[in-house]
Amino acid sequence: MPAYTIALAQYPIDQFPDWAAYEAKLTRWVKQAAAGGAALAVFPEYGAMELASLDAATQSDLHGSLATVAGLMERADALHADLAARHGLHILAASGPVLVEGHYLNRARLFTPQGKAGHQDKLMMTRFEAEEWGVFPASAVSAPLHLFETALGRIAIAICYDSEFPLIARAAVEAGAQLLLVPSCTDTPQGYWRVRIGSQARALEGQMYVAQSPTVGLAPWSPALDVNHGAAGLYGPPDGPKGGDWRFPPDGVIAIGAMDSSQWVFAEVDLARVEALRANGGVLPARDWAKQPGAVELPKVKVVDLR
C-alpha cells in the first residue's frame, strides 16, 4: 500500500447560532484537510459537544447537553458521510454521546468516501465521565473493540483514556492493527501528557503508528468542555529495521502541532514501515509481547470491513 497523508485536528469548541454555522465550520475544516492532501482526517474526542450550543436551554446544563447532542448525532453523521464522499477522504468524526439501551456512550464514527461507516465506543471512563457526567463504558451494552479493514490499512480507535491501558491496544495489534487513532479531550496539560505518553507507549509496544487529535481552547459556555489543552501528533516506535536505511525519529515523534493552537497537523503514514519493523526491527516488542510472564486475557475484537 502506498504512503498517504493523515490530517490531525487541533479542534476548537465553538458556539453556534444555528445548524448552518456548524455545517459551515465542519465543511471548512474538511475542505482544508482535503486541500492538504489528506486521505484521512481525524477529529477529537467530544468535539461533537459543541452542538449543545444549538439549544440555549441545555447548553450550560451538564446532563441536558448530552441529550441535546445525542439527538443531533444522526444529522451530524449524515453531514460527515456527505463530506467524506464529496472530498474523497476518510473521516474520523469527533466523538459524541449516543443513547444505547438507556445509557449514554461516547462514540467515535469512521466514514469512508465510498459511503461505508463504522464506530467505536469508549471502553474506559474517566472519573468525570463516570462520577459526574453519567457516561457509561461500552461494556455496559457489551460493545466490542473494533478493527476496521479499510483502503488505508487496518485501523483501530482508542478514545482518549483508552490509550492509557495497554491491553486494549494489544488486542488491536494481535488482530492486525497498523494505525491506532486516539481522539482526545483533556482540560489540563497533565491530562494531555497522560494521553500523549500512553499513545507513544502504544506505538512502541505495537510497532505501529498512533495518531492523537485533541480539542483545544476555551468554551466557557460549556460545563463539560470549558477548558481544553493539547497538541495533535503522529507517533511511531523509535526504531528502524536492522540494516535498513531509514529510522523513525529518535523520540518517536513524527509530527507535532503547536500546543493549544487551532490547526491541522499533516503527516505521512507509510504502513510498509510498520510491516518492516514488525518483521526485522532493532527490537521486536510486538512479537515478544507473549514472552512476558503472566498471560492475561485480552479484550475481544470484532473485525469490521469498510473497504
* Residue 296 burial (C-beta neighbours within 10 Å; 0-12, 13-18, 19+): exposed
In contact, 202 and 194? CB cutoff 8 Å: no
Per-residue pLDDT band at 10 (split at 50, 70, 90): very high
- Reduced to 3 states (helix: H, G, I; strand: E, B; else coil), residue 30 is helix
* Residue 14 burial (C-beta neighbours within 10 Å; 0-12, 13-18, 19+): middle
pLDDT tens-digit readout, 181-195: 999 999 999 999 999
Choose between 143 and 146: higher pLDDT: 146
- Reduced to 3 states (helix: H, G, I; strand: E, B; else coil), residue 256 is strand
pLDDT tens-digit readout, 203-212: 999 999 999 9
DSSP-assigned letter for residue 251? T
Per-residue pLDDT band at 165 (split at 50, 70, 90): very high
CA–CA dist 140, 116 (Å, integer):
26
- pTM: predicted TM-score of the whole model, two decimal places: 0.98
